[in-house]
Amino acid sequence: MNWGRVQALVLRYTFLYTRSVPRVLEVFFWPVMDLIVWGLVTQYLETAPFKVPGIIKFLIGAMIFWDILYRAQQGVTLAFLEDIWARNLLNIFVAPVRLSEFVVATYLVGLVRITVIVAVLTGLALMLYSFNLFALGWTLIPLFANLIIMGWAMGMVTTALIMRWGQASEALAWGIPFLVQPFCCAFYPLSTLPQWLQPIALCLPATHVFEGMRAVMAGKGLALSSLLAAFGLNILCLVAAGWFFSFMFDQARQRGLLAKLGTQ
């Protein structure tokens, strides 16, 4: 892997945001709107005449955690789509850029976006709703890492599907994360799901992350078993997604689909 080429790709995707105010606004608009809505819902539930658990503020944390997963997936997928929209895809893959270098560059760009967005959301949550995300302590690091890795795996799968079926499948870039959202128990405990769905949910790394986040906020601490399960599942997901991405890339190249994507 040539880190010079990775750096060049990172600069290419970074310049898209440094020179476009609408793109920068779009990065912050949806997360901030989600935070405001979920924060207001939390405030209402805390003051509602009916009794709700005192841990209800986990909804704000769940929203921030979900955005990490979503933005990690978007970091990979949108970088690919930006090259399609700019008709730059052929230039990327005609150049001596390896597939691994392209993927790593999208990882890094997405990681920078996530860091900035989480910093903004954490500050706003503290100012507007007195919710301190850092109260979770050291557990933030492994929980965040697991969400980012799963997001990367989902991003590779989404990009592979778009690569194979073309621009008609671009809606998958936004749809696939919400396809798994009901099963990863972001805003409710695992026990809420029907009994037959719970084993399926436990196959998703994010389920263990969100369950762990709620356990920490309830003062129970982060179970080592949940953390190991999340990391183990993430390794499997990342390896499988990498193989699927490489397979679909080869299929698209052999059938000339990359040329079509790059010129449509």
C-beta of residue 9 within 8 angstroms of C-beta of residue 97: yes
Nearest to 13 by CA among 100, 147, 99, 103: 103
C-beta of residue 111 within 8 angstroms of C-beta of residue 73: no
| Residue 156 pLDDT | 92
Dump pLDDT digits (tens) for 84-130: 887 877 777 777 778 888 889 889 988 988 999 999 999 999 898 88
Kindly report the pTM of this predicted structure.
0.90
38-47, 122-131, 155-164: range with lowest mean pLDDT: 38-47
45 or 133, higher pLDDT: 133
| Residue 217 pLDDT | 83
Dist. CA 140–CA 83, nearest whole Å: 33
